């Protein structure tokens, strides 16, 4: 595997390992053996070590003396905090992206929402989560703040190996999500004020993420993910 000329070897290794963590190929606790990774990437250990250090700084990997580097575990509390961050960040990105959403984006978002609607009431939880994420990505992909998008992607990578692993959907949540999606898409299509779009996105994301948390960690204390009145 040869690195593109425009991309350094450590950046290539970082992206390659990160994608495998996000997809669940390297799950929580997976030991990252530098020599083995270097062999797969056909490069020396040095850039792989740099990549693993960067992933450690991002919280995706932990390092323990005499054990080495492992993919980080995400416990219930961490999961809750990441969901709260995603709810806030995606809402802001959606509002910022709204003026740049194209008619094609609107059409794609409506078609994705139709997949959920037509699958009710027996929609597979994995399909729901994948389609839901694709719909939201469509609506905030044109956000003009690249750093905000980078942070959002990073948070989803941290949860990547957990995405779709829950056994069900909170009762009634998928049907509620369809209606909330339609309302959000309508706001964006008609050029509503940014604060209205952000509030609608935040309300929807809060409901979906809290429901997801209820399924995965039913005994965990909840945190309020909604915007206060007047914010």
Instruction: Tell whether the model's pLDDT for residue 190 goes beyond 90.
Output: yes
N residues, the chain: 231
Give me the chain's average pLDDT, please. 84
The per-residue pLDDT for 138 is 97
Instruction: Tell whether the model's pLDDT for residue 5 goes beyond 70.
Output: no
- The candidate with the shortest Cα–Cα distance to 31, out of 2, 82, 78, 66, is 66
The per-residue pLDDT for 174 is 86
pLDDT digits (tens, 9 = 90+) for 73-113: 777 677 778 888 888 999 999 999 999 999 999 999 999 99
The per-residue pLDDT for 229 is 45
pLDDT digits (tens, 9 = 90+) for 42-77: 999 999 999 999 999 888 899 888 889 998 877 767
Instruction: Tell whether the model's pLDDT for residue 168 goes beyond 70.
Output: no
Contact (CB, 8 A) for 117 and 162? no
**In the predicted model, what is the mean pLDDT of residues 9-16?**
93
Which residue's structure tokens are 């609608």?
Answer: 200
- The candidate with the shortest Cα–Cα distance to 105, out of 154, 143, 157, 149, is 143
CA distance 12 to 3: 7
CA 178 to chain centre: 19
Pairwise pLDDT comparison (220 vs 173), residue with the higher score: 173
The per-residue pLDDT for 210 is 73
Residue 7: band (very low, low, confident or very high) from pLDDT cuts 50, 70, 90: low
Contact (CB, 8 A) for 47 and 8? yes
Structure tokens at 198: 């952000």
Instruction: Tell whether the model's pLDDT for residue 126 goes beyond 70.
Output: yes
The per-residue pLDDT for 140 is 97
Neighbours of 108 (CB within 10 A): 15
Q: For the whole model, what pTM was predicted?
A: 0.72
**In the predicted model, what is the mean pLDDT of residues 20-28?**
83
Instruction: Tell whether the model's pLDDT for residue 160 goes beyond 70.
Output: no
Pairwise pLDDT comparison (110 vs 209), residue with the higher score: 110
């Amino acid at each position: 595997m040869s690195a593109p000329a425009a991309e350094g070897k450590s950046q290539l290794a970082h992206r390659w390992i990160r994608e495998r963590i996000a997809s669940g190929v390297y799950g929580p606790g997976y030991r990252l053996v530098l020599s083995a990774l270097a062999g797969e990437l056909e490069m020396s250990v040095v850039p792989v070590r740099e990549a693993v250090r960067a992933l450690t700084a991002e919280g995706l990997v932990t390092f323990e003396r005499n054990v080495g580097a492992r993919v980080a575990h995400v416990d219930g509390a961490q999961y809750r905090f990441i969901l709260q961050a995603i709810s806030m960040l995606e809402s802001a990105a959606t509002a910022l992206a709204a003026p740049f959403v194209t008619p094609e984006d609107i059409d794609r978002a409506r078609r994705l929402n139709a997949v959920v609607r037509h699958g009710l009431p027996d929609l597979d939880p994995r399909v729901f989560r994948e389609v839901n994420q694709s719909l939201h990505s469509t609506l905030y992909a044109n956000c003009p703040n690249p750093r905000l998008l980078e942070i959002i992607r990073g948070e989803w990578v941290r949860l990547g190996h957990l995405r779709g692993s829950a056994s069900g959907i909170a009762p009634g949540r998928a049907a509620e999500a369809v209606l909330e999606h339609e309302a959000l898409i309508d706001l964006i299509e008609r050029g509503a004020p940014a604060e209205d779009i952000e509030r609608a996105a935040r309300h929807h994301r809060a409901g979906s993420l809290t429901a997801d948390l209820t399924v995965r960690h039913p005994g965990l204390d909840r945190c309020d993910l909604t915007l206060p009145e007047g914010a």
